[in-house]
Amino acid sequence: MNKLTPEQERIIVHKGTESPYSGEYDSFFEDGVYVCRRCETPLYRSDSKFSSGCGWPSFDSEIENAVHRIPDSDGRRVEIVCSHCEGHLGHVFEGERFTPKDTRHCVNSLSMQFISTLKK
């Protein structure tokens, strides 16, 4: 497991949320893969990322078997966690019609790390 900063730990371990529009990946669109910041499990491909205007990175699908959905403690939402380390990623919403897949994974930037697939 990677060492986390106090803020990353607040979000990933203690299920916090970063402020909207503050994350480094909110308006970031490059070719690559997003991995779990805690354990480096690949979570999302850049081709599933879209702009939802919600203030957090949004994806309409995850890499197969990378993300688990669990009921949130608030009883209204569905939390998403890394399937390997169970680190908190954010929440998933359905029925908003942003994309044909009709799913939005709303993910904290601090929960992920981007790895470019562009050759240098």
- Tell me how crowded residue 76 is: count the other CB atoms within 10 A of its CB: 8
Flag whether pLDDT at 120 surpasses 70. no
Domain boundaries, the chain: 6-116
Supply the pLDDT for residue 39: 97
Task: Give CA angle at 24 (13, 71), nearest 5°.
Answer: 35
Supply the pLDDT for residue 35: 98
Task: Say if CB 28 and CB 57 are below 8 A apart.
Answer: yes
Residues with catalytic roles:
106
For the stretch 56-87, pLDDT in tens is 999 999 999 999 999 988 888 999 999 999 99
Which residues is 69 bridged to in the sheet? 80
* Chain center to CA of 41: 12
* Chain center to CA of 66: 11
Give the architecture-level CATH label for domain 6-116.
Answer: Beta Complex (2.170)
- Tell me how crowded residue 57 is: count the other CB atoms within 10 A of its CB: 28
For the stretch 6-56, pLDDT in tens is 999 999 999 999 999 999 999 999 999 999 999 999 999 999 999 999 999
pTM: 0.93
Nearest to 82 by CA among 26, 10, 13: 13
The amino acid occupying position 34 is: Y
